[in-house]
Amino acid sequence: MTTIASLVFCTACGTLLPESIGNTRNLLKCDCCTLENRDVGINKTTAVTKPTDFPSVLRQKLHSSVKAVEKHKIDTMAKTDEKCPKCGAEEVRFTTLQLRSADEGTTVFFYCDCGYTWNANN
């Protein structure tokens, strides 16, 4: 019997066998050739990936843009009448950046003099 992901195929004819019951003692009967195959559907493989496993020019541009915001001098940012959730200051500095797709709003990064930062999606 051949297993691909959690799909189980008959060793004789290659037909997809019925869904696994989850017990290795069970036999799965092929509807096409009537051969009984052991149920190995419970032997599952789990793969874990990280964003760095699949390099992307777009991901690199996004990452460099976010770093640019972090390094940007707070003095040059515009001020707005937004209340700081941490200290309650009535005026904070902000900057915007297009992080999502072009048909969606920008992300606004807020910086308070108390050191608290947060963002909001427009």
Is residue 114 annotated as involved in ligand binding?
Answer: yes
Could you write out the DSSP letters of every residue in the chain? -EEETTEEE-TTT-PBPPPP-S-TT-EEE-TTT--EEE--TT--------GGGS--HHHHHHHHHHHHHHHS-GGGSEEE----TTT--S-EEEEEE--S-TTSPPEEEEE-TTS-EEEEE-
The confidence score (pLDDT) of residue 3 equals 46
> Using one digit for the tens of pLDDT, what is the confidence trace for 11-47?
888 888 877 665 556 778 888 888 887 776 655 566 7
Decide if pLDDT at 58 tops 90: no
Is residue 32 annotated as involved in ligand binding?
Answer: no
Decide if pLDDT at 83 tops 70: yes
Could you give the CA distance from residue 28 to residue 9 in angstroms, rounded to a whole number? 10
The confidence score (pLDDT) of residue 1 equals 43
Is residue 13 annotated as involved in ligand binding?
Answer: yes
Query: What domains can be seen in the chain, in order of their start residue?
Result: 1-47 (no CATH), 54-121 (2.20.25.10)
